[in-house]
Chain A
Amino acid sequence: MPRSASSTTRGNKIVKLRHSLISVVCTATLLLMKSAAAHHSTAMFQWGTEKTLIGTIEKYQWTQPHTFIWIVVPDKPGKTQEWGLEGMSPSWLGRRGWNLHSLNPGDKVSVVYYPLKDGRQGGFYVRVMAPDGKTLEALPTQAP
């Protein structure tokens, strides 16, 4: 999907525009050299578009290369949906106050995430409001 997005016509236009946009592009490239997601493109997410899920933690995986929140949210009456939200690695989160037990099965939480573009029940988690009212940030704050 992201690859096909740049058609030849668009590519030619970009070549023409390139010189005037060069410094903007370079700055962007530098900023993006260290992306939030360690090892892969974030093209599958609506990166920067915040959505919220309120539900019950089914499982919190403190794993490499990414932590994972599996959360059950209410759906139609009597039914639930399972969502899978990827997050930063245990090493990154562990250096910023998170740990293996930050989230536990049964916790009722509110999770802010960037959704998948294809509409499936998944995304990348940005912050979690835990039952004790504490907010855990899970992504770097905006670069200065």
Chain B
Amino acid sequence: MRRTSSSIANLTWVCAVALIACGAQSSSRKGLSWIASSAAAADAAPSNPYASLAKLPDWNGVWDVTRVPPQPGAPPPAPPKLTPRYEEQWVKYQALNRKQKGLNFVSEVASCIPPGVPQSMTEPYPIEFLFTPGRVTILIETYALTRRIYTDGSPLPKNPDPSYQGTSVGHWEGETLVVETSGILPETSPLNGINGHSDKLHITERIHLINPDTLEISTTRTDSAVFLEPYTTKAYYKRHRDWKIMEYVCEQNNHDALDAKGNAAFSLKHNPGE
């Protein structure tokens, strides 16, 4: 009996070792075949999403909005056609511009509330573009603003939460980036001289190079509460490959906050911490 049971035990061991050996061989074969198949997939499939960026135009460097369009002979654009409420604001603003030099547009921006789209795009300090798969990011030096433009084919959400830079999607038409933006906070300015708009403001921007170092942004504003018809302006940006975007903290030493009546003001008090 004892011999028999011992033989059975030995046999069990032999079988166990054999099974383990078979399993090891089998999994090793599987392993080899997996490596082989992934190598084949790498040859066939678009491997790295960043490779798609090579097709995009070269917008490297930093872009500074120019004071005048580069075509001095071009006719001036037509003025906006406005609803009565906003026409009144516009007329007052133009009257001030004729009467006194300098910028006469008064808004909460002076108190460090940032501008919304599209005004954030024409601040006097530069912007830059970053391309990543499915997205273009615009970094705006003034107020350190960021615009995220999804180019992955997702649609513009129907009712995005309102924000200063709004919600944007974009697509490429050749070398032109077309950006659609909505969900912009109604207290922002859609145009110098006009404060406020409805929650339906929609901005379309067409961005492309008109020569190797000049970018044109054509901006169309649509909002029936303000504009009787869509209003388009163009801004031009000069490339500076050697500039870098710098930090901008408006609250650091601001002396220009609006007074209690909302008018332009200027404080001569030394700010705390100076």
Complex formed: what's the CA distance from A25 to B76 in Å?
A: 9
Residues from chain B with Cβ under 8 Å of A100 in the complex: none
A residues 1-60 in Cβ contact with B at 8 Å: 1-3, 5-6, 10-11, 14-15, 18, 21-23, 25-45, 47-48, 59
Q: Are A41 and B110 in contact (CB under 8 A)?
A: yes
Complex formed: what's the CA distance from A36 to B65 in Å?
A: 12
Asked whether A41 and B105 contact (CB < 8 A) given A2-B264, A11-B95, the answer is yes
Is residue A73 within 8 Å, beta carbon to beta carbon, of the partner chain?
Answer: no
Q: Are A43 and B122 in contact (CB under 8 A)?
A: no
A89 (CB) vs chain B CBs: closest residue:
B125
Complex formed: what's the CA distance from A59 to B253 in Å?
A: 13
Q: Are A6 and B124 in contact (CB under 8 A)?
A: no
Q: Mark B69-110, 1 if CB is under 8 A from A, else 0.
A: 100100111110000000010011011111111111110011
Complex formed: what's the CA distance from A95 to B254 in Å?
A: 21
Is residue B225 within 8 Å, beta carbon to beta carbon, of the partner chain?
Answer: no
Residues from chain B with Cβ under 8 Å of A44 in the complex: 264-266
Overall SS of chain B's interface: loop
Total interface residues in chain B, CB < 8 Å: 60
Asked whether A22 and B264 contact (CB < 8 A) given A29-B192, A42-B102, A64-B250, the answer is no
Q: Are B274 and A59 in contact (CB under 8 A)?
A: yes
How far does the Cβ of A97 sit from chain B's closest Cβ, in whole Å? 14
Complex formed: what's the CA distance from A28 to B99 in Å?
A: 12
Residues from chain B with Cβ under 8 Å of A77 in the complex: none
B residues 218-261 in Cβ contact with A at 8 Å: 233, 235, 240, 243, 246-250, 252-256
How far does the Cβ of B3 sit from chain A's closest Cβ, in whole Å? 94
Is residue B268 within 8 Å, beta carbon to beta carbon, of the partner chain?
Answer: yes
Residues from chain A with Cβ under 8 Å of B265 in the complex: 44
Is residue B67 within 8 Å, beta carbon to beta carbon, of the partner chain?
Answer: yes
Tell me which of A25, A65, A84 contacts B112 (CB under 8 A). A65
Is residue A131 within 8 Å, beta carbon to beta carbon, of the partner chain?
Answer: no
Residues from chain B with Cβ under 8 Å of A64 in the complex: 247-250, 252-253
Q: Are A39 and B192 in contact (CB under 8 A)?
A: no
Is residue A78 within 8 Å, beta carbon to beta carbon, of the partner chain?
Answer: no
Q: Are A39 and B67 in contact (CB under 8 A)?
A: no
Complex formed: what's the CA distance from A45 to B102 in Å?
A: 8
B253 (CB) vs chain A CBs: closest residue:
A63
Complex formed: what's the CA distance from A128 to B203 in Å?
A: 42
Complex formed: what's the CA distance from A6 to B193 in Å?
A: 14
Q: Are A2 and B104 in contact (CB under 8 A)?
A: yes
Q: Are A18 and B125 in contact (CB under 8 A)?
A: no
Is residue B142 within 8 Å, beta carbon to beta carbon, of the partner chain?
Answer: yes
Complex formed: what's the CA distance from A48 to B143 in Å?
A: 27
Is residue B216 within 8 Å, beta carbon to beta carbon, of the partner chain?
Answer: no
Is residue B187 within 8 Å, beta carbon to beta carbon, of the partner chain?
Answer: no
Further 17 A-B residue pairs, CB within 8 A, beyond A43-B102, A43-B263: A2-B263, A3-B106, A6-B92, A23-B75, A30-B77, A33-B122, A34-B65, A34-B67, A40-B103, A40-B110, A42-B101, A43-B96, A47-B101, A65-B256, A116-B266, A122-B266, A122-B268
7 closest A-B pairs by CB: A47-B102, A42-B102, A40-B110, A35-B103, A63-B253, A26-B76, A41-B264
Interface CB pairs A-B, < 8 A, 19: A3-B106, A5-B95, A6-B92, A23-B76, A25-B98, A26-B77, A32-B103, A36-B103, A39-B256, A41-B105, A41-B106, A42-B104, A43-B102, A64-B248, A65-B253, A68-B255, A89-B248, A91-B125, A120-B268
